[in-house]
Amino acid sequence: MATETYLNAGRRAVIEEMQRDDAVWALGEDLGRGGVFGQYKGLQEMFGVDRIADTPISEACIMGAAVGAAMTGTRPIVEMRFSDFALCAVDELVNQAAKARFMFGGQMRVPMVVREPIGMWRSSAAQHSQSLEAWYTHIPGLVVVAPATPADNLGLLKSAIRNDDPVVYLEHKNLWALEGEVPEAEHLVPLGKADIARAGDAVTIVTWSGMRHGCLRAAQTLAGQGIESEVIDLRTLWPWDRDTVFASVRRTGRLLVVQEAVSVSGFGAEIAASVAEALHHDLKAPVRRLGAPRIPIAYAPALEDRARVGDQAIIDAVLGLVAPCPAD
């Protein structure tokens, strides 16, 4: 094992897959300069301008070119810089890439990865801070991935590049500098398989992306009060690992879903509804979910913090779930 940052783990995944398969290439704005966060630093020198391709400032052009290239046999990695910017290209992704395999009767695949950095990051304000994963989980034909650790960013990105369907790959901007152990050998993480980040028997906490770390901190605090929380990081939002989540909730009888995104119509509601429908006889308390209020994310740090799901909010929600009630 080696210690590596979340950012460099993703960079390593791109390098390894481009070395493995000549059909893999990347396109986006300023990739020759390393990309906006440095995810592509030095890659144009390694692979040339045809495989690390700089594009015009036009998200629709970038996405449209990638969809066509994927349909004709290559495996493009599409860099959208921010998930917010990708909204300018969502028609090509949603109405073309996601539907091609179905509309061509399985004769056409669109093997592409769309990297869309998400989440709040040092006062980036309303147009650079959103988490829009629920938009994509709603669309048939798209795979949606949200890694939370350096090892997962390596293994999931490699699996996404090898996948034959379009993958929306959501890296959290606030995790770029996060360090963690990463295997030095070939490392693949299967799509659709959750990670039990912490075992427990009192309550199941389901989360993904940057909220994994807040949930683990809250679980550590709760353990000091004798409450052992099981923290599940979904890693892949579609398809999501129902088996792992359901098995955990059957044991604990309680579920809290935690997301950074706006709570209204968020993906947490899908998990909450699925568990409530399938496991209502096993539940010891009503399903709870935490998410941001339905407000734009402010530039001012004090106002930005009002939109965050903090550790204490997670702790309070768990305490509310495990409080004694007549059913206990």
Tell me the catalytic residues.
128
- What strand order describes the sheet that includes 195-198? 195-198, 229-233, 203-207, 255-262, 288-292
CA 42 to each of CA 6, 9, 34, 50, 297: distance values in angstroms, whole numbers, following the listed order: 17, 14, 6, 14, 33
208 is written with which tokens?
A: 């993904």
> Taking Cα atoms as reference points, which of 242, 104, 110, 117 lies closest to residue 169?
117
Beta bridge partners of 286: none
The three-state secondary structure class of 191 is coil
Quick one: how far is CA 22 from the chain centroid?
26
Torsion of CA 76, 148, 206, 234, to 10 degrees: 30
> Taking Cα atoms as reference points, which of 208, 5, 27 lies closest to residue 113?
27
Angle formed at CA 221 by CA 216 and CA 224, multiple of 5 degrees: 130
18 is written with which tokens?
A: 């481009």
Quick one: how far is CA 49 from the chain centroid?
29
